[in-house]
Amino acid sequence: MTDIPFEDRVKAASLNPKPEDVAKLQALVIDLDRSATQVRGPRSYAEEPLSAFRLTPAK
Partner 1 sequence: MTDLHFLTIAEASAKIRAKTLSPVELTQAYMARIKALDGELNSHILVLEDQALAAAKQAEADIMAGGWKGPLHGIPIGLKDIYNTAGITTTGHSDLFKDHVPAEDAFTVKCLRDAGAIFTGKLSTWEFAIGGTSFDLPWPPARNPWDLSRDPSGSSSGSGAAVAAGLCTGAMGTDTGGSIRGPAAWCGIAGLKPTYGYLSRRGILPLSFSLDHAGPMCWTSEDCALMMQVLAQHDPLDAANANVAAADFTAGLGSGLKGLRVGVVRHFFETDLSTDAETIQALENALMVLRDMGASVGDVTLSPFEVYGDVGSLISRSEAFAFHQAWLRESPERYGAYGRQRLMAGAFIAAADYVNAQRQRAVLVAQVAEVMKTVDVLVFPTARCPAREIGEDSMASGFQPFFNRAFNVTGNPGLSICNGFSASGLPLSLQIGGRPFEDALVLKVGDALEKAMGTRGRRPAFAC
Contacts with partner 1, residue ranges (CB under 8 A) = 9, 13-18, 20-21, 24-25, 27-29, 31-36, 38-40, 43, 47-51
Q: Which is nearer to partner 1, 3 or 20 (CB)?
A: 20
Q: Which is nearer to partner 1, 3 or 33 (CB)?
A: 33
CB of 56 to partner 1, least distance (A): 11
Yes or no: say if 7 and 23 are a contact pair by the CB < 8 Å rule: no
Q: What whole-number distance in Å separates Cα of residue 30 and Cα of residue 23?
A: 11
